[in-house]
Amino acid sequence: MASIAVAGATGYVGGRLIPLLLAAGHEVTVLSRNVQKLRDVPWRERVKTVEGSMEQAHAAAQLCAGADIVYYLVHSMSGSKGAAADFEKVERLCALNLGQAARDAGVKRLVYLSGLHPEGELSRHLSSRTEVGEILLASGVPTAVLQAGLVIGSGSASFEMIRHLTDVLPVMPAPKWVLNKIQPIAVRDALHYLMGAAELPSTLNRTFDIGGPDVLTYAQMMRGYAAMAGLRSPTIIALPVLTPWLAAQWVNLVTPVPRNLAIPLVESLQHDCVVAESDIMEYIPEPEGGLTSYRRAVELALRKIQADAVETTWATAHALSAPAEPLPSDPEWAGQKVFTDERSKATAAPASKVWAVVEGIGGENGYYSLPFAWTVRGWMDKLAGGVGLARGRRSPNHLQLNDTVDWWRVETLERGHLLRLRAEMIVPGRAWLEFEVTPAKEDDGSVFRQRAIFFPRGLWGRLYWLAVLPFHGVIFKNMASRITAAAARVEQVREQGS
């Protein structure tokens, strides 16, 4: 097993590569500007950390010391505002520092993840990444520069741009670059090639193009995303007059992708980005089962995100089990849009009494808040062809997994602790209502937590949530208060009786 160093551990690819390196038995050292950002990642205690930046020669030297292989996964355009404004200069300095440090430390292999690009004039972003690769190739240390197109997976800035543009805009005026050819690659396949690069012959010093099996236009990628997300295919109107700068401002306005990322990404889309050679196949075979199609990569990302967002209650994210899975170190703007309404209430009533109220919710017992509003919503659902509130409950006081509760279905039941109801009403998205009861730590009371979760489907889903938001502010607040109050009354009656 090798001693491996990784620059860019808190980045999208780096955070997913490190668990694979550890699983393969390698010793791993990581470099991060702020090691506190690694606090919640599951592998934090299994790696050696170096705090600093590749802009600092001493930090680069410390990272490379004793390393057999160094992965360089840093892109300064996503750093501070100052770095983003002049990222070419910063990238050049970082590459020179790494090359010198790796040569001095006797590193056997450098691996750099760059971008696919055509010959000729390039955007600032692609030109800078190409220059970094050239610096490392000339460093005297054998270097593998893997040139990838758009990486598809939750958290990837490129994928997030596709996701949010498609989710929000059923009709999109776009620059003519939406018709350019792009060869995206699933994050799992990019990681496969990165892992394989550690085994390349020691004399190899060159670039390799890597990509998935599909060559698509950006418009086709948006339509493919819509199909996998269950959205109506967007109408995309290519406009020859929309400049890259204006397009980037539009992306920044419509999506949560930061402007310092949106501008270089949009500029890069001015070019066709497709694989020009497939020499990597001579050294690293395709993953078992073949390369992942674009639509399959989207499907994997969407499925995992939705499962995590619902399954994670009030705990931190669990260990990474798939490359498409969100990580604690991912940026705040990453991931599918999800709306939540969370309430928490402490009560003197014991957890058992609060749970009894929770398990009896719905049906004739109602929802402890504005019963007329719930009735009206039930009528509306019924008129729209939904199930309404007429189904009621099987039992007034007890639930079983998969029971119906009006327009809900019991999806998760941890008796005495957790109840999650999945909505079966007609709604532009997917919705859950979740209740959790835990004993208080300091006395005989308990803590009641309530959470409404909504995954909007396209623009209409977001508008729906905004329309009902004022009512939620009243309904869910009253629900939490009255459920705990009902439990407290039961406890008071019990105490008076005793």
| The pLDDT of residue 66 is above 80 | yes
Quick one: tokens of 23?
Answer: 């699983």
- At 79 the pLDDT is 43
Rounded CA separation 327/473 (Å):
30
What pLDDT shows up at residue 305? 53
Q: What does the pLDDT read at residue 9? A: 85
% of the chain with per-residue pLDDT over 90: 41
Q: Which residues pair with 173 in a beta bridge?
A: 237
Spatial contact of 262 and 251, defined as CB atoms under 8 Å apart: yes
Mean pLDDT of 323-351: 72
Give me the pLDDT at residue 329, please: 54
The β-bridge relationship of strands 235-239 and 171-175 is parallel
Task: Tell me the pLDDT tens digit for each residue of 69-113.
Answer: 999 998 765 444 444 457 788 899 999 999 999 999 999 999 999
Query: What percent of the chain is predicted at pLDDT more than 70?
Result: 85
- Which range has the top average pLDDT, 192-196, 244-248, 252-256, 362-366? 192-196
User: 3: which residues sit within 8 A by CB, 6+ positions away?
Assistant: 26, 27, 29, 66, 67, 68, 69
- When pLDDT is cut at 50, 70 and 90, the band that residue 320 belongs to is very low
pLDDT at 177: 75
pLDDT at position 324:
52
Q: What is the DSSP letter of 285?
A: P
Helix, strand or coil, per DSSP, at residue 108: coil
pLDDT given for residue 306 in this prediction: 53
Has residue 262 got a pLDDT over 80?
no
282 pLDDT above the threshold of 60: yes
The mean of the pLDDT values for the chain is 84
CATH superfamily of 3-311: NAD(P)-binding Rossmann-like Domain (3.40.50.720)
pLDDT score, position 82 = 41
Lowest mean pLDDT among 25-34, 100-109, 387-396: 387-396
DSSP state of 101: H
CA 485, 489, 490, 494 torsion: positive or negative? positive
Q: Which of these ranges, 46-55, 375-384, 444-453, has the smallest mean pLDDT?
A: 375-384
Kindly tell me if the per-residue pLDDT of 168 is higher than 50.
yes
Identify the band that residue 336 occupies on the pLDDT scale cut at 50, 70 and 90: low
Residues near 55 by beta carbon (within 8 Å), at least 6 away in sequence: 90, 93, 94, 97
pLDDT classification of 387: cutoffs 50, 70, 90: confident
Cβ within 8 Å of residue 441, ≥6 positions away: none
Model confidence at 317, in pLDDT bands (50, 70, 90)? very low
- Arch. (CATH architecture) of 339-497: 2-Layer Sandwich (3.30)
DSSP letters spanning 346-368: EESS-HHHHHHHHHT-SGGG--S
Q: What is the pLDDT of residue 142?
A: 97
The 10s digit of each residue's pLDDT in 235-252 is 888 777 666 666 666 676
Higher pLDDT, 28 or 329: 28
3-311 shares its CATH topology with 339-497: no
Burial-class residue 245 by CB neighbours within 10 Å (0-12, 13-18, 19+): exposed
User: In the chain, where are the structural domains located?
Assistant: 3-311, 339-497
Buried b (16+ CB within 10 A) or exposed e, 270-301: bbbbbbeeeebeeebeeeeeebbbbbbbbbbb
pLDDT at 215 over 90: yes
Task: Please state the φ and ψ torsions of residue 287, each to the nearest 5 degrees.
Answer: -60, 155
Distance from C-alpha of 425 to C-alpha of 34, rounded to nearest angstrom: 45
More confident residue, 331 or 222: 222
Contact 459, 475 (CB under 8 A): no
Judged against a pLDDT cut of 50, whether residue 321 lies above it is answered with no
Calpha distance 137→144 (Å, rounded): 8
Checking if the pLDDT of 40 tops 80, the result is no
Question: Would you state the pLDDT for residue 174?
Answer: 74
- Looking at residues 132-143, what average pLDDT do you find? 96
Mean pLDDT, residues 170-181? 80
